[in-house]
Amino acid sequence: MLSTSDRIVVCGGGGFIGGHLVGDLLAKGHKHVRCVDVKPTTEWYQVHPQAENIVADLNLRDKASEAVKGMDVVYNLACNMGGMGFIELNKGLCMISVLINTHLLLGAREHGVKRFFYASSACVYNGEKQKEKKLETFLKEEDAYPAMPEDGYGWEKLFSERMCRHFREDFKVSTRVARFHNVYGPFGTWKGGREKAPAAICRKVIEAKTSGKHDIEIWGDGQQTRSFMYITDCLKGIYLITGSETWHEPINLGSAEGVTINQLVDIVEDIAGLKLNRKYNLAAPKGVNGRNSDNTLIKKVFEWEPDTRLRDGMEKTYRWIYDQMTSK
C-alpha cells in the first residue's frame, strides 16, 4: 500500500471524486497532497486548505509536467464528462481529454513517478453487449473487445487505457486502471446538465416535493438498467488498485446491485415520502439499455467488492442535495 510520506497529486481534484479523494487522503495522514483542476477554486466541489491547490489546464503539456513534477503518485481523474445528457451531446469535447492523460503520462515518465492511476469508465464496453434491458447484463473486463465503446467519451477512455498499458510496457511507468461504474454521493453535480441519474432524480423529486407539482420527467422508458457505486466504495477501490504490486490490467470498480431507472425513482420517492406522476421522454439521451458491473475479477484479486446498499447511499445523497436546494 501507499505510504503517508508519498507525495501525491490528484488531477481533477476540484471535481466530485477528486474532492472526496483529496479530503480522504488528508484525513488518512498524507502530508503532501497536491490538487490540480482547470476550474477556478470558487467552482471546485470541495476545497481543502491543507492541500497544495493549483489551477491549471492539464490539456497543456507544460502544465501537466509541472503538476506531476516531484510527485510519487498521480491520480488522474481529470476529464470532460457528465451524465448522458452531456456526453451524448459533447463528443468532441470529451475526446479532447485524451490530451490530459497523454501529457500526464509523458510527465510521469519524465519525472520518474512511482505509481500512476487512471480513472477509466464502463463506457469503454462494447455496445453490442448492452442492448438488452436486463439486470443480468454483467460486463466482464474482456467485454471491452472487440472495441465498440460509447462514441466520444468511451473511445477516449479506451484509447487512454491503451496508452497506460504501453507506457507501462515500454517506458516502465507503473500504471493502474479502474473502470468506474456510475459513482454518486454528496458534494457532486446535481444540476446544470452534467449531473448523472442519481443526482438528477434526487433533484427532480425534491423539486416536485417543494413545488407541490407531483410530476417527474424520466429520460427513456425507465426500463434501462444500471448499477451505481457510492463514493466511499469508489475511494476504497482506488486505494486497493493503486497500491497493488501485482495487478495492473484494467479492472471493474462498481456495484453489482443493478436496478432499472424506474426502480431508482422508486427508491428516491420512498426516501422523500411521496409518489409522483411519471412522464417518459423517449427522445431524451438515455445511453445503453443495460449495464452492470461483473465483480468476479475484483473479488478474486482483492477479496472485496463495493458493498454499500443503493438505498443507503441514495438517502445520504438525497439529504445533501435537499440541503443545497432549500438552504438559499
Q: In the structure grid, which three cell numbers stand for residue 156, read together? A: 477516449
- Give the model's pLDDT for residue 1: 63
- Catalytic residue (one of 153, 184, 230, 318): 153
Residue pair 30/48 in contact (Cβ under 8 Å)? The answer is no
Give the DSSP letter string of 211-244.
HS--EEEEETTS--EEE-EEHHHHHHHHHHHHH-
Residues contacting residue 49 through CB under 8 Å, at least 6 positions apart: none
pLDDT of the chain along its 328 residues, tens only?
Answer: 688 999 999 999 999 999 999 999 999 999 999 999 999 999 999 999 999 999 999 999 999 999 999 999 999 999 987 666 677 778 998 899 999 999 999 999 999 999 999 999 999 999 999 988 888 889 999 999 999 999 999 999 999 999 999 999 999 999 999 999 999 999 998 988 778 899 999 999 999 999 999 999 999 999 999 999 999 999 999 999 999 999 999 999 999 999 999 999 999 999 999 999 999 999 887 778 889 999 999 999 999 999 999 999 999 999 999 999 998 6
* Catalytic residue status for 153: yes
Given the DSSP bridges, would you call strands 175-180 and 115-121 parallel, antiparallel or unpaired?
A: parallel
Q: With respect to CATH, is domain 186-226+258-294+308-326 assigned 3.90.25.10? A: yes
**DSSP structural state of residue 290:** B
Q: What is the CATH number of domain 8-183+229-253?
A: 3.40.50.720
**DSSP structural state of residue 140:** P
Residue 73 β-bridge partners: 8, 115
Delimit the domains of the chain by residue range: 8-183+229-253, 186-226+258-294+308-326
Residue 138 β-bridge partners: 292
pTM for the whole structure: 0.94
Query: How far is the first Cα of the chain from the last one, in angstroms, to the nearest whole number?
Result: 43
